[in-house]
Structure formats: C-alpha cells, structure tokens
Amino acid sequence: MLNITSIEKGVVIDHIKAGYGITVFNYLNLDKAEYNVALIMNAYSQKMGKKDIIKINNVIDINYDFLGLIDPNATVNIIENGKTVKKVKLEVPETVTNIIRCKNPRCVSSIENYFDHVFHLVNKEKRSYRCEFCDDIVVPYSQDL
C-alpha cells in the first residue's frame, strides 16, 4: 500500500476516472508546480474499482468546466487546516471555451486562431459538443465513456 500524507491547505481532486488523472495533471500545468503535488493513479476505490486522485498542497484556480468535461463524477475538495471546508460538485458544462479545439479541417479555426474556440453541449450522456463556427460535433475525451 502506497501512503500519501494529507495536505494542510490546498485542493484534492478525487474520484477521477482511472487513466484521466494525467490529463487533469497536465491541463493544470502541475508538472511545473513549485509546491507539493501528488498524482495517484489506480488507487483502490470501493465504488469505482480503480480511480485517480490529485492532491495539490496549494490554493490554485481550478477550471471546473474542464474537470466537468473530463469527468463530471470527480469531486473537488478544498482543504484548509487539514480539513475539507468545501466540496464542489462538478457538472457537464453547457458551453466550453478554449478547452477543446475543432478537428474539422474545413473549419475556420483551422486557419485563423485569434478568437475564442467555443463549443456547445449537444448530448449530456455522450458528452458531445458542437463547434460554434462549423457545427461539427466532437466527443472530447471520449475513450471508454
């Protein structure tokens, strides 16, 4: 059994679908962090079997839309004085801005890049999104959904 100590002040992102922890870790640029960060992969979970966890020993801005897009079942716990003071329930976002890019090679976003890349939710279960410009439908982070 691997032991990771609890943190005093910061954020714990728990119940991340196993395999997606590294995606969250990279998106939050935690590889460049100058504070303690733990990425725990394939931790045992009674409910999920396996899960990923990220513990961040610092107060940082979290993009909840991004986390909701990756895994709306993950939980975010805000920690102060070693105790959870707030739990954030994630939701599949209705609109995501500058998180995903359109893959349609005919989309205007493939040649010009100075504007926001906006996608609107099409199907909550499938987590599919429509590009605001070309209407192409994408399912981001779709592996084993």
Partner 1 sequence: MLKGRHLIDPSDFTREEFREIFDLAHDIIKDPEKYSKSCEGKILATLFYEPSTRTRFSFEAAMLRLGGKVIGFSEPNSSSTAKGESIADTLRTIECYADIAAMRHPKEGAPRMASRYIQMPLINAGDGGHQHPTQTLTDILTIERLRGNVENKTYGFCGDLKFGRTVHSLVKFLSNYEGVKFIFISPEELRVPEYIREEIVKKKGIPFQEVDKMEPYMGELDFLYMTRVQRERFFNEEDYIRLKDRFILDMEKMSYARPDTYVLHPLPRVNEISPEVDSDPRAQYFNQAKNGMYVRMALICKLLGIY
Looking at the Cβ atoms of 9 and 117, the one nearer to partner 1 is 117
Length of the chain: 145
Looking at the Cβ atoms of 57 and 109, the one nearer to partner 1 is 109
Q: What one-character-per-residue DSSP string does 60-106 give?
A: ----HHHHHHH-TT-EEEEEETTEEEEEEE----SEEESSS----TT
Nearest distance in Å: CB 82, partner 1: 48
Looking at the Cβ atoms of 3 and 113, the one nearer to partner 1 is 113
Q: Please enumerate in sequence order all residues whose Cβ is within 8 A of that of 19, keeping only pairs 6 or more positions apart, or say none.
A: 41, 52, 143, 144
The residue ranges that bind partner 1 (CB under 8 A) are 104-112, 114-115, 122, 130-137
Nearest distance in Å: CB 91, partner 1: 21
